[in-house]
Amino acid sequence: MPENMRENFRFPVESTVFVELISPEFGSNEAATIVKCKTLDVSREGLRVTVEQPLPVGAILQLGVELPAMADTLFLVGEVRWSHPLPGTEAEPSWSAGLAMLNADESDIDNWVALLATMEN
């Protein structure tokens, strides 16, 4: 989508994102499956990341976002909207994915929106 058609401005912010791909069953001793990503850009409504494996499109995932402007990790919920291989990474595949932030109970979505609003001003 062309940048001028977007509803929110995208900021080229590099941060670390931890994505929980598989949650353990309640009461289980098994560990979650978590992948580490890097953001390419962020907006009020989402973020674009690079990751070493494809993310399942349509999946609702728990996210831990460590932004440079925040002392604490933001815990968010995002939906994978798209996931594509990055060109030129065939030897060591790398992927880019777009995640839309969801308004979920017990997430830090209000802090996320407030932080991005201050970046826009």
The predicted model scores a pTM of: 0.85
pLDDT of residue 6: 53
CA 8 to chain centroid, in Å, comes to 16
What the chain holds in terms of domains, given with CATH numbers, is 3-120 (2.40.10.220)
**Is residue 61 within 8 Å of 77, Cβ to Cβ?**
yes
> What does each C-alpha distance from 41 to 12, 25, 28, 49, 91 come to in angstroms?
4, 32, 35, 7, 25
59-98 pLDDT, tens per residue? 999 999 998 777 889 999 999 999 999 888 777 778 999 9
Whole-angstrom distance, CA of residue 46 vs CA of residue 113? 10
5-17 pLDDT, tens per residue? 456 788 888 999 9
Whole-angstrom distance, CA of residue 53 vs CA of residue 68? 24
Sorted by sequence, the CB contacts under 8 Å of residue 95 that are 6+ apart come out as: 50, 51, 52, 53, 54, 55, 83, 84, 85, 86
